[in-house]
Amino acid sequence: MDKAIVRLGTVLLAGFVVVALALGYWQVAAAPGLVDGPYNPRLLAEAARTERGRILDRTSKVLVDNAPAGQGSKRVYALPAAVHVTGYFSPRYGAAGLEQRFDDYLSGARAPSLVDRVRDRLLHERRRGSDLVLTLDARVQAVAAEALGERRGAIVALDPRSGAVLALASAPGFDPNTLDQDWSALQRSEGDPFFNRALQATYTPGSTFKIVTATAAVDLGLVDLDQPFACSKPVAIDLLQVDCRNNAHVPNLTFQQAFAWSSNRTFALAGLALGFPGPMNRWLTDEPPEPYPWKTRGIAASAARLEEYAGRFGFGRSLPFDLPVSISRLKTQPEWTADLLGQTAFGQGQLAETPLQAALSAAAIANGGRLPAPYLVAEARGPDGTVQRLHEPGEDALEQVMSPATAARLQAFMVESVERGYAGKAALVGVQVAGKTGTAEVGAGRTPHAWFVGYAPADKPVVAVAAILEHQGSGSDFAAPAAREVLAAALRR
Amino acid sequence: MSDRASWGWRWRELLLLGFPCAMLLLGWLSIDLARTGAPDPALWTRWLVFVGLVLGTHGWLAWRYPSADQGLLPIGAALTALSLVVVERLVPALADRQLAWLALALGAMVLALSLLPSIRWLHPWQYTWALAGLGLVGLTFVAGVDPNGSGARLWLGFGDALFQPSEALKLLLVLFFASYLDDKRELLAWGGPRWGRLRTPPLPYLAPLLVMLALCLGVVILQRDLGAALLYFCLFLALLYVASGRASYVALGLGGLLLGGALMERLFDHVRVRVAMWLDPWSDAAGRGYQVIQALVAFASGGVLGSGLTYGYPGYIPAVHTDFVIAAIGEELGLIGSLGTVALYMLWLHRGLAIALTRRSSFSTLLAVGLTSAISLQALVILGGTLRLIPLTGITLPFVSYGGSSLLVNFLMLGLLLAVSAERPVDRHG
């Protein structure tokens, strides 16, 4: 019997060894896949047990806080107007905005120090996340949201010297405090309140894009700024008729006046002339020497130059930012045609631009020609008080878009535009404002989008702004006054 | 173990009992500290009750069974301490109940050992054991209750207390198999008719045994207690093999098991679901595969060190404090805890078979083998099921799962094994 007992023992022992190996497999080897898999309810439960970090504005005013609710706590959003920045954090519907993108910090998963992580593991104290300190200014944000009101659109304000975003408003919005109750209604509601228009929507920029065309023309030294030219008759570019309607009351004008009065014909021709030796004034007039050079030598050189300058401003590439940003683009079709290039040069065509990009374009002028890197989250403050700076202001300017001299010239254009041109309603008492309006045609029979981009004070800029109101009408009448409120609020800081 | 003469007191057992006592105190303390930040005032009293029970049993053994094996009680006590920690963690309301069951179980063990004239005395009552077990399980058909809504009426209610007859049947079957096989050992070893190279058992001599086994299996299968059925059958094969020494019988038996399993899979929906959820629980992750998957996720979440007591989420697993208790251990105490639990069963296997290998009467040997393998096989059936090594069949993890009748029967088995080990070794073959 003894032999049989030993054999039985061996078999049973082998059974336990297999069990031990299986334990090792499930607890170690196969563990990562199961833990991160879709069938693990622990992740949410763990999140509910964590005390999430707060979100503060630049003056340490609390934007997002926690309040006790049931066994755990819930998020309280003190400034629903900033919902597209803060996003939301819902156990039922997940997270969005900074709540999602900076979850590592807010949830404490990225504890500032190794000691903290070890202590977490051993002592199981209620995990506390880091607070995020934003560059946002709650007051400016509130003013921006109010300026939009019930209208669809977006306003972005930033400090042109550092790229620090002061306000980022998108309308319609929603109240993240009541998200769980409102969810299905919001899903159905018109205007897609979850959509962050300030970063994700791409609009036809209209005349605000003339900043890019003008920058190229001036920076390349292709235009004689002192010599006026006549602009009273339409010009045909292929099948396209471009007129002088905008500047009808100033038929004889300088390039600066053409900018301030937003002359479409001037800018269509300027765009087409970018690839040829200047001065281009001779082709901007009513009676140019026949034929236009691009008719015989093509548009490739001009298109390349416009693309180059638009690219320097940020078109065609993804901008580094703390929240996802859509790419602004010049066109959708692969090849340039003369009429498309002409339309693009005055801000129509197939252009599509995010409000953030528009604000950055103004900021580049304000910042002496350097495109600042935009950012929103300044620092993370750990529960133990350690501060981790996430951005150094102005440390990584993206690009020298133009020479400082060109920037100074463009600034004069934009000041003229506010002081004498179409952007007059953006003017502030006692402060010189630089700006450019746009009225973006969005199809026959539809009210155009109203645009304004600009900055203030012109001589020592501290805030640049872009405002867009969808289907409201002219930039002068709708966008400029809205942007003015935001500029004023930012200057009161 | 025959170190009675040299020591005089069961020092080794006493020393080993320190581990379960310390384990329980540490476990309960850390639970209280995690929950409220301070130990519950009743904690010390409850702990002292456990220490008193264990040391009382130890003292009684030193008096009446000084030469009995000194490893078994510490193993049983360690598994029970683990059980008390886990029950306190998972269902605090049941912890005192489990402690009361422990008192009852140790009391019953001491009482049974006091009344038992000798191991040999158990031998002639073989059919009584079998019929008693059958009768108890049969009672569940008329008076069974289903306290947790599992769909199986496996319990008998006595007022507030519940008793699971299939647990008692486990012990009674060990007694029956051991005594019956001891009688027919010579005949079985000689073997029955030969079919080519395969020798089948001498069926006429096995008939009463097979009839009893079939009855027991039939009854528990009708009760949907598949885990018990699997355990009984494997227990039978283990003892048949040790009694006969013939591996061919085991092969036949395992063939029969697979055939029977395949047949049941065809016939019964609940068996088909078990097999399907074993092969691919993810095909119905939110439904019938939920329990299996949540157990695996719990193991995975535990990792090597575990989340720490009260810091995991074993509550997501249905029936976690009974059949799936190892998943809770794996999650909160980590691989260290789950492997430690398995190690305790390995120690049990080692002690039990060491007792069986000490030369005594063949009945005592078979009894020791039966008692040892019953616990080991039961642990393997539920651990294998939880870990997806075999289809899941619900059964308690011996000593660890919450459950009074289970604890009671397991300590009776532990007591019998102690009694066997206390027998004076004899030279079996003259």
Taking CB atoms within 8 Å and a gap of at least 24, the contacts of A441-445 are A441/A204, A441/A206, A441/A348, A442/A204, A442/A471
As a whole number of angstroms, the distance between CA A321 and CA A372 comes to: 11
Say what the pLDDT of residue B222 is.
79
Of the candidates A114, A170, A166, which has an alpha carbon nearest to the alpha carbon of residue A141?
A166
Which residues neighbour A154 within 8 Å (Cβ) at sequence distance 6 or greater?
A148, A168, A169, A170, A171, A197, A198, A201, A355, A466, A467, A468
Secondary structure of residue B407 in the 3-state scheme = helix
* Domains of chain A (ranges, CATH numbers): 206-371+401-491 (3.40.710.10)
Say what the pLDDT of residue B144 is.
74
| B209 vs B10, more confident | B10
Neighbours of A350 (CB within 10 A): 13
Which residues neighbour A410 within 8 Å (Cβ) at sequence distance 6 or greater?
A211, A214, A215, A218, A365, A402
| A110 vs B39, more confident | B39
Those of residues 373-392 in B touching chain A at CB distance below 8 A are: 373, 376-377, 379-380, 383-384, 387-389
Question: Model pTM?
Answer: 0.66
Say what the pLDDT of residue B430 is.
36
| pLDDT band at residue B188 under the 50/70/90 scheme | confident
| Nearest-Cα residue of chain B relative to residue A19 | B384
- B33 and chain A: CB distance < 8 Å anywhere? no
Say what the pLDDT of residue B265 is.
87
Which residues neighbour B363 within 8 Å (Cβ) at sequence distance 6 or greater?
B119, B120, B122, B123, B178, B179, B182
Say what the pLDDT of residue A19 is.
97
Contact B349 A12 (CB under 8 A): yes
Contact B338 A31 (CB under 8 A): no
How close B83 comes to chain A (CA, Å)? 19
A6 to chain B: which residues are within 8 Å by CB? Answer: 353, 357
Looking at chain B, the whole-number percentage of residues with pLDDT higher than 70 is 94
Indicate if the alpha-carbon torsion angle B120, B123, B128, B132 is positive or negative.
positive
Contact A16 B338 (CB under 8 A): no
pLDDT in tens, chain A (493 residues): 789 999 999 999 999 999 999 999 999 999 888 887 778 888 777 777 778 899 999 999 999 999 887 767 789 999 999 999 999 998 778 889 999 999 888 987 766 566 766 666 666 666 788 999 999 999 999 999 999 999 999 999 999 999 999 999 999 999 999 998 899 899 888 889 999 999 999 999 999 999 999 999 999 999 999 999 999 999 999 888 999 999 999 999 999 999 999 999 999 999 999 999 989 999 999 999 988 999 999 999 999 999 999 999 999 999 999 999 999 999 999 999 999 999 999 999 999 999 999 999 999 999 999 999 999 999 999 888 888 888 876 566 678 999 999 999 999 999 999 999 999 999 999 999 999 999 999 988 899 999 999 999 999 999 999 999 999 999 999 999 999 999 999 998 7
* Helix, strand, coil percent content, chain B, rounded in steps of 5: 75, 5, 25
Say what the pLDDT of residue B3 is.
46
As a whole number of angstroms, the distance between CA A116 and CA A384 comes to: 9
As a whole number of angstroms, the distance between CA B101 and CA B81 comes to: 13
Of B244, B339, B350, the CB nearest to A20: B339
How close B5 comes to chain A (CA, Å)? 26
Q: What are the φ and ψ backbone dihedral angles of A315, each rounded to 5 degrees? A: -65, 145
**Per-residue pLDDT reduced to its tens digit, B357-404:** 987 889 999 999 999 999 999 999 999 999 999 998 889 999 999 988
| pLDDT band at residue B4 under the 50/70/90 scheme | very low
A5 to chain B: which residues are within 8 Å by CB? Answer: 242, 353, 356-357, 365, 369
Is the pLDDT score of B6 beyond 80? Answer: no
Is the pLDDT score of B1 beyond 50? Answer: no
How close B393 comes to chain A (CA, Å)? 16
ipTM given for this complex: 0.93
Distance of CA B162 to the CA centre of its chain: 18
| pLDDT band at residue B216 under the 50/70/90 scheme | confident
B357 to chain A: which residues are within 8 Å by CB? Answer: 2, 5-6
Of B302, B313, B353, the CB nearest to A27: B302
| pLDDT band at residue B320 under the 50/70/90 scheme | confident
H helices of B245-361, in order, are 247-267, 269-279, 290-302, 325-357
As a whole number of angstroms, the distance between CA A195 and CA A475 comes to: 23
Mean pLDDT of the B206-211 span: 79
Say what the pLDDT of residue B148 is.
66
Token representation of residue A151 = 């209208």
Say what the pLDDT of residue A331 is.
94
> Per-residue DSSP letters for A231-243?
--S-EEETTEEE-
| Nearest-Cα residue of chain A relative to residue B351 | A9
| pLDDT band at residue B211 under the 50/70/90 scheme | confident
Of B301, B356, B384, the CB nearest to A42: B301
